[in-house]
Amino acid sequence: MSQPNVVLHVADVHKRFGGLHALADIDLQVEEGQTHAIIGPNGAGKSTLLNVIIGKLPPSSGQVVFDGTVLTGRKPYQINQLGIARVFQTPEIFGDLSVLHNVMIPALAKRDGAFKLNMFRSLDSETGIREEAEHMLEDVGMLGRREMAAGSLSRGDKRRMELAMCLIQHPRLLLLDEPTAGMSRHDTNTTIELLKKIKSRGMTKVIIEHDMHVVFSLADKISVLAQGRIIADGTPDQVRGNPKVQEAYLGGAH
Amino acid sequence: MAAMPRNDLLLFAGFTLAVLTMPIWLAPFGAAYPDLLQRFMIFGIFAVGFNILFGLTGYLSFGHAAFFGVGSYAAVWSFKLLSLDVIPAMIFAIIVSGLFALVIGYISLRRSGIYFSILTLAFAQMSYNMAYSVLTPITNGETGLQLTQSDPRHLDSALAATVVGQPIPTLLGQSLGGFSGFYFCAGFLIIAFFLAQRITGSPFGMMLKGIKTNQTRMHYTGFNTKPYTLAAFVISGMYAGLAGALLAVTDPLAGAERMQWTASGEVVLMTILGGAGTLVGPVIGAWLIKYFENIFSAINDGILRRFFDFLPDGVDSAMVTVASKFVGEGWFLTLGLVFVIIVIFLPGGIMEGVRRIAHLFNRAPKAPGKANPQPQPAE
Ligand SMILES: Nc1ncnc2c1ncn2[C@@H]1O[C@H](COP(=O)(O)OP(=O)(O)OP(=O)(O)O)[C@@H](O)[C@H]1O
Ligand SMILES: [Mg+2]
């Protein structure tokens, strides 16, 4: 058996907010091509962990390594350019712009890099980027809304559009913070199908979810976070059977 | 360079036509004389450039008059040191104001929102004060920078061109008085508009809009937003410098009052009045403000007294007293009132008003049976 290739390594990370120990001694390894779910009760520190990975927050100690490159200390745009994209818990989108433009912008970032002064070229002549964006919107089932202002979309649609904004960059690592929250059952299932399809293309994913149906349909590995600590991790079956997890999180729900 | 989209081309053609025919269609409004028309062009350019920073990128500068003033001084220095020809003066002014904007922008853009605005205001006031104090060798202080017979004009003297009488700026030897001055400035406004249109419709322009809407998302999408905002700042500073230089062409006495905070505030008003973020809005805002400034500041008590003459005694003098506060020197009071009304009732400016009206007309023929074009609110 070949050695599994760890793409993301969160090494001994601590994060304190004043007296609050939001992340305590986190050690997490995500293997290439896998879908790694992070579950845990509200306020466990799940979003904070993603914030540390993408450079939104500096860790109090420890570091994050992505494919041999230390991310800690780098700026968010540099981390994205290394191939990491994120869907936020509260959608971060361009509310005043059309859905199509929302998806074209990340495609331009991928193609042109962090800065390019191309101001005498017409956006309308970017047919390649446009078609790519339209394909992506079709994949998430939003092509019909491409001319709408993104800010006027429903919560679930904003989320699907944000997913398209991330996927169009073909990131090596996709971080998803509750990607199906606010979606109907039907849209949730479409999103699961979509995420499975991406998985078959070999994209590595870290997914935070409260919806156990989503978690158990997608995850290869699960880490359980409670009060800033990883209290269990392993395959879905191992985690499901773990009494500590039952107590801290799954409780009576399952 | 790819061809322009059809709609953009139509807008550009319409704009060009409207500008070039201004001496005709403004005649009934009593505004078709060169001096005022030139100011329409100059402040149109100022507003178009300002809109690239404020309208597209969302950074509200309260100090853009500094670049306008620097453009004026640079142009006059070019007339004095190089040549009376306007072409080197324009180029020199754009370069100098661009460099000035690069420095001020680099520092101010370390902050955003209100802190950015305050920084730009502080820099502009600093420039204004320095123009009156330590920089008097360059600005000639309160007297203002003037052209004189004895200026060196190295380029002109190398070409053995001589000046008889008071020196005035020329274009290839032709004087730019009267309507030729207007058409000269109009040419620049049309070019300025064209460039702004290209920028707005480019991927770069899209990034500026992205920064205005959600700068955080831009970072997590892989953009380094600093060089984008700095580029927008420098471009708008160069526009302001060009406008200032054109004012120096038509009125070659550069004074520091062109850099005062009221002048910075005026271009903000123009842009918001017309519609920030739109292409034509800022130009229309500039034209309207300059037009009404021209009318209101010319009204004096004598005119008011004749106007209210039909009212009974006592009432008419009361009316004159009240109205006189809003005209002449008090024109800024009127401007302030109009501005408050616009921001409250039409936050998108005149262009939003135009859109709303167009919307009504578009709907009316399609749904003749429906009396109320507004969607009914849910019970
Ligand atoms: N920037 C911040 N400053 C101070 N405290 C913070 C900050 N961000 C998060 N916290 C705190 O850290 C703790 C963990 O928050 P976090 O958002 O990571 O939880 P979560 O696991 O994502 O919860 P949820 O499931 O509700 O999204 C919470 O107590 C929160 O209040
Ligand atoms: Mg969270």
- β-partners of residue B343 are none
Quote the minimal CA–CA distance from A175 to chain B in Å: 12
Provide the domain limits for residue B132. Answer: 6-279
Quote the minimal CA–CA distance from B233 to chain A in Å: 13
pLDDT band at B133 (very low <50, low <70, confident <90, very high): confident
Q: What kind of fold does domain A6-83+171-253 have according to CATH?
A: Rossmann fold (3.40.50)
Give the ipTM: 0.92
Of residues B152 and A28, the one with the higher pLDDT is: A28
Report pLDDT for B208. Answer: 96
Q: Does B272 map to a domain?
A: yes
Q: Is the pLDDT of residue A242 over 90?
A: no
Question: A216-225, A239-248, B65-74, B257-266: lowest mean pLDDT where?
Answer: A239-248
Report pLDDT for A186. Answer: 87
Note every long-range contact of B109-117, with CB atoms under 8 Å and residues 24 or more positions apart, other chains counting. B109/B59, B109/B226, B109/B229, B109/B230, B109/B233, B112/B59, B112/B215, B116/B59, B116/B60, B116/B61, B117/B60, B117/B61, B117/B62
3-state secondary structure of A9: strand
Q: Quick check: B84 and B285 in contact, CB under 8 A?
A: no
Report pLDDT for B110. Answer: 93
Distance (Å) of CA B21 to CA A1, A228, B34, B287: 80, 70, 13, 14
Q: Does B312 map to a domain?
A: no
Q: Quick check: A39 and A211 in contact, CB under 8 A?
A: no
pLDDT (tens digit, 9 = 90+) per residue, B259-279? 888 888 889 999 999 999 999
pLDDT (tens digit, 9 = 90+) per residue, A65-104? 999 999 999 999 999 999 999 999 999 999 999 999 999 9
Would the CB atoms of B207 and A101 count as touching at under 8 Å?
no
Atom of ligand 1 nearest to the CA of A18: 4
Q: Does B22 map to a domain?
A: yes
Q: How many residues does chain B have?
A: 379
Q: Is the pLDDT of residue B135 over 80?
A: no
Provide the percentage of residues in chain B whose pLDDT is more than 90: 46
Q: Which residues line ligand 1 (CB under 6 A)?
A: A 17, 20, 22, 40, 42-48, 89
Provide the percentage of residues in chain A whose pLDDT is more than 90: 61
Contacts of B29 (CB under 8 A, 6+ apart): B291
pLDDT band at B165 (very low <50, low <70, confident <90, very high): low
- Across all residues in chain A, what is the average pLDDT? 89
Report pLDDT for B321. Answer: 79
pLDDT (tens digit, 9 = 90+) per residue, A100-156? 999 999 999 999 988 988 888 888 888 999 999 999 999 888 999 999 999 999 888
Atom of ligand 1 nearest to the CA of A51: 18
**Structural domain boundaries in chain A:** 6-83+171-253, 91-154
Residue type, B186: A
Q: Read off the tokens for A184.
A: 């109907």
Q: Which residue of B has its CA nearest to A130?
A: B203
Q: Which of A197-206, A211-220, B55-64 has the highest mean pLDDT?
A: B55-64
